[in-house]
Amino acid sequence: MKVILDSRQIEHALEDLASRIISDTPGGSDIAVIGIRSRGEIIAQRLSTRLSAKLGKDIECGTLDITLYRDDLNSHHGGRAQVRTTEIGFDIDGKVIILVDDVLYTGRSTRAALDALIALGRPKVIKLAVLVERAGREFPIQADYIGCKADVSPGETVQVNLMESDEKDEVVIE
């Protein structure tokens, strides 16, 4: 196991992501942050808090469950997927949506999230922010905002641990 981001580096990456999102987004844009369950939702909450502080206004934050939109639903879950709720308490139409996930690997989760979002409305634009990007894309999907690029060999995994769910902040390669 190799630690590639400790708690301080995660905080720095989130600050950097927030700054880049603000610099890339035209002033006056209606921004909202939506995290993909489960760790993407935690990162989205942290990012939304930082954006709100930097912009001096509340940035809405929601959570997206992509279970029923996955193309590997039957193979990964033995036909017994755990469907949880999507919690987006605002209209996404016309908004700049920052879609957040912990790790971008194959692109399948992002593809499923895009399908799920489009089923909910018509955002002005969707931008993808990830804490960690690694090689191995199976779909032509790339992140707009990346906290860290990880050099990971095939067969290795990237594990994101967050205080809210894992009682520590770190990213490791296993």
Query: 131-165: per-residue pLDDT in tens?
Result: 999 999 999 999 999 999 999 998 999 999 999 99
Residue 58, domain member (yes or no): yes
Closest-CA residue to 18 (of 39, 59, 48, 40)? 48
Integer CA distances (angstroms), 65 to 58, 59, 88, 133, 136, in order? 23, 20, 10, 21, 23
What's the pTM value of the predicted model, to 2 decimals?
0.92
Query: 100-112: per-residue pLDDT in tens?
Result: 999 999 999 999 9
Dmax over CA atoms of the chain, in Å, equals: 47
pLDDT band of 73, cuts 50, 70, 90: low
Backbone angles phi, psi at 35, to 5 degrees: -100, 140
Residue 141, domain member (yes or no): yes
What does pLDDT average to over the chain?
93
List the domain range (segments joined by +) for residue 144.
31-69+83-155
The CA distance from 119 to 122, in Å, is 8
Residue 7, domain member (yes or no): no
**Per the structure, how many domains does the chain have?**
1
| pLDDT higher than threshold 90 for residue 41 | yes
Q: What CATH number is attached to the domain comprising 41? A: 3.40.50.2020
| pLDDT higher than threshold 90 for residue 22 | yes
Whole-number pLDDT of residue 24: 95
The CA distance from 100 to 24, in Å, is 16
